[in-house]
């Protein structure tokens, strides 16, 4: 039976943070290098159907039909619109995944057995992934063909980034800088080589990257829906400082590390890399929540963290991963009260 809803519940308030997150979700894929790391470049394809799924689940639970109709129509329009550049095969793959993800999320919301958003989102991702694998098997599509479509798309994006990088240093200003600094030539070459290898690495961990992007899309859809509707599908998103999840998920990270490191499991190294990236990202976010818990709340703190992330991203990610893993056993936020000033 569908979960009981609260048609008269007040809307969640506070659009500023959601609008900033939405702008980043829509704009970031257009930045250099990032399209190679973001599986679905046209992020509206993931977001709008997910909001529509929330609206349909809310309508079945007693919500307004008009909201469900409007968002379903928007989702149909977005899914029917083809992306002009890139591989047509990959575009169809992305739209198919968005439809599976939204359907799975709506189904999980209707069941209503997962009280928190993350549990529902992880369940929806797992269901959509299983349905995707089943679809490939039923249609007798070769997995190698799917991998080839993904690799071709990411290689095309990587080639554009590499051409942009080389063009920047071939212009008069770039040539002048290379002439003035003898180290510039080697730096340009090294970075160019890294850009060239990025598509192959992204193809290897494509499922994990797709999972991370899908969770972000579902979180945004959940937050947006609960600000435009009074029907409640579940608990609101908690602040970053309270972000945590079931400690048993650490075994996903352990399994991935085992598959990557043990020579006897070399055949599973690709799966292990995906588990490491996916669960590692969750623990990085959990570590960021620990940091946010011990810092004074406010926009200044958030801005400082964002600047540090841009300047020292890899180092902060490693530190946050360590804090997130440590929180599994030490539970930093329970052991020490958060300062109020």
Q: What is the pLDDT of residue 106?
A: 94
Query: Residue 54: which H helix or E strand, with range?
Result: helix 44-60
190 lies in some domain: no
- Stretch 200-213: mean pLDDT: 94
Tell me: do 227 and 292 sit in the same domain.
Answer: no
**Mind giving me the DSSP string for 170-205?**
HSHHHHHHHHH-TTHHHHHHHHHHHHHHHHHHHHHT
Tell me: do 7 and 156 sit in the same domain.
Answer: yes
From 190, 208, 234, the end of a domain falls on 234
pLDDT (tens digit per residue) in 124-164:
999 999 999 999 889 888 888 999 999 999 998 888 888 88
311 lies in some domain: yes
Tell me: do 255 and 329 sit in the same domain.
Answer: yes
Residue 226 has pLDDT above 80, yes or no: yes
Tell me: do 157 and 271 sit in the same domain.
Answer: no
193 lies in some domain: no
Report the distance separating Cα 272 and Cα 204, nearest Å. Answer: 10
Give the count of beta carbons closer than 10 Å to the beta carbon of residue 244.
18
Number of domains in the chain: 2
Q: Domain range holding 280?
A: 238-341
332 lies in some domain: yes
Tell me: do 55 and 115 sit in the same domain.
Answer: yes
pTM value?
0.88
Residue 295 has pLDDT above 80, yes or no: no
179 lies in some domain: no
Tell me: do 152 and 270 sit in the same domain.
Answer: no
Tell me: do 132 and 248 sit in the same domain.
Answer: no
Tell me: do 80 and 115 sit in the same domain.
Answer: yes
Place of tokens 């043990």: 262
Tell me: do 111 and 5 sit in the same domain.
Answer: yes
Tell me: do 210 and 319 sit in the same domain.
Answer: no
Tell me: do 295 and 215 sit in the same domain.
Answer: no
180 lies in some domain: no
From 181, 210, 234, the end of a domain falls on 234
Residue 53 has pLDDT above 80, yes or no: yes
Q: Residue 301 — pLDDT band, cuts 50, 70, 90? A: low
| Helix-helix angle 184-204:206-228, to 10 degrees | 80
Q: What is the pLDDT of residue 99?
A: 95
From 216, 234, 252, the end of a domain falls on 234
Tell me: do 133 and 21 sit in the same domain.
Answer: yes
Give the count of beta carbons closer than 10 Å to the beta carbon of residue 325.
17
177 lies in some domain: no
Q: Is 192 exposed, middle or buried (0-12, 13-18, 19+ CB in 10 A)?
A: middle
């Amino acid at each position: 039976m569908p979960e009981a809803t609260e048609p008269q519940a007040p809307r969640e308030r506070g659009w500023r943070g959601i609008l900033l997150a939405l702008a980043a979700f829509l704009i970031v894929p257009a930045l250099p290098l990032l399209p190679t790391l973001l599986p679905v470049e046209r992020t509206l394809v993931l977001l709008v159907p997910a909001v529509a799924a929330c609206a349909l689940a809310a309508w079945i639970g007693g919500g307004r039909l008009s909201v469900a109709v409007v968002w379903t129509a928007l989702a149909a329009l977005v899914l029917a619109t083809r992306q002009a550049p890139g591989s047509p095969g990959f575009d169809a793959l992305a739209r198919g995944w968005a439809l599976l993800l939204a359907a799975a999320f709506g189904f999980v919301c209707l069941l209503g057995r997962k009280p928190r958003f993350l549990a529902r989102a992880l369940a929806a991702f797992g269901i959509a992934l299983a349905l995707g694998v089943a679809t490939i098997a039923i249609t007798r599509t070769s997995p190698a063909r799917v991998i080839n479509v993904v690799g071709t798309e990411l290689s095309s994006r990587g080639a554009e980034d590499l051409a942009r990088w080389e063009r920047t240093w071939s212009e008069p200003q770039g040539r002048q800088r290379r002439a003035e600094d003898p180290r510039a030539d080697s730096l340009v070459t090294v970075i160019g080589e890294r850009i060239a290898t990025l598509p192959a690495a992204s193809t290897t961990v494509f499922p994990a990257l797709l999972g991370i992007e899908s969770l972000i899309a579902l979180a945004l859809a959940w937050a947006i829906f609960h600000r435009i509707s009074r029907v409640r599908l579940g608990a609101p998103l908690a602040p970053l400082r309270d972000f945590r999840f079931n400690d048993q998920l650490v075994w996903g990270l352990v399994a991935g590390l085992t598959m990557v490191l043990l020579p006897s499991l070399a055949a599973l190294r690709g799966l292990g890399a995906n588990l490491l990236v996916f669960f590692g990202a969750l623990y990085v976010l959990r570590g960021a929540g620990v940091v946010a818990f011990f810092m004074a709340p406010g926009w200044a703190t958030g801005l400082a963290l964002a600047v540090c992330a841009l300047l020292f991203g890899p180092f902060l990610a490693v530190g946050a991963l360590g804090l997130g893993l440590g929180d599994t056993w030490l539970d930093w936020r329970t052991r020490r009260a958060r300062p109020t000033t």
